Copies of this chain bind each other. A is one copy, B any other.
């Protein structure tokens, strides 16, 4: 248990990257590892005082804000090793809520103590800054995808993003289970659930992927990449003219 971070399979994606074994000891001392949380539980809520950041060891989490009409606005999906809650530091309260999409094991890292430790361990400071930078980059990519791309491309970008992230975590890049419902995908992409359903149908009809419920099988990865933005206009669409 004391060597938790060192033996964690997410070592290379998470805070310990680049930190020496002896320094990881310092990090491990401040990390709280909780028991598994069932689906639908909150890690934190919008407006809660910001004291810690969180990382899932296993299981996916969604983050979202709630409009005054009560509707969820999904900001992102977080796989194991991806930091959660960093947006709370600015205001001192969490800017979004985070809820588990499935059974999730989380690590909680008290932020003040992390800051202290980072001062003593340059490599940890650097990795923390790098991970924050990654969060910025990630949101910029989302911004480009959501703000300016066609619905089909947005969906392709999301599927590809999941594919890449699953493969970084040692899972198949072409066969995986979606951790979220269609309606969550739609909400995240700024589309109607019906549109997502129809887009997925089209992707199946064109042999790009096969879907059974939440099980995705990417049959034509190059084509999915193309749809996600490799070239300006979709190439194979004779039937539409």
A133 touches which one: B132, B147, B232 (CB < 8 A)? B132
The answer to whether B65 and A136 touch across the interface, beta carbons within 8 angstroms, is no
Write the nearest CB–CB distance from A116 to chain B, whole angstroms.
8
Write the nearest CB–CB distance from A135 to chain B, whole angstroms.
5
**Number of A residues, CB within 8 Å of B:** 45
- A120-156: which residues lie under 8 A (CB-CB) from chain B? 122, 125-126, 128-130, 132-137, 139-140, 142-144, 146-148
CB neighbours of A238 from chain B (8 A): none
Whether a CB of chain B sits under 8 angstroms from the CB of A69 is: yes
The DSSP consensus for interface residues of chain A is: helix
Q: How many copies does the complex hold?
A: 2
A65 touches which one: B69, B144, B231 (CB < 8 A)? B144
Question: Within the assembled complex, what's the spacing in Å between the Cα atoms of A46 and B140?
Answer: 13
Whether a CB of chain B sits under 8 angstroms from the CB of A68 is: yes
Whether a CB of chain B sits under 8 angstroms from the CB of A200 is: no
Question: Within the assembled complex, what's the spacing in Å between the Cα atoms of A97 and B47?
Answer: 34
Whether a CB of chain B sits under 8 angstroms from the CB of A199 is: no
- 18 intermolecular pairs with C-beta atoms under 8 Å apart: A65-B144, A67-B229, A68-B232, A73-B148, A86-B133, A87-B133, A90-B130, A95-B140, A115-B122, A115-B125, A115-B129, A118-B125, A119-B122, A128-B129, A135-B136, A136-B139, A142-B143, A143-B146
Give the B-binding residues of A (Cβ under 8 A).
Answer: 65, 67-69, 73, 75, 86-91, 95-96, 115, 118-119, 122, 125-126, 128-130, 132-137, 139-140, 142-144, 146-148, 187-190, 229-232
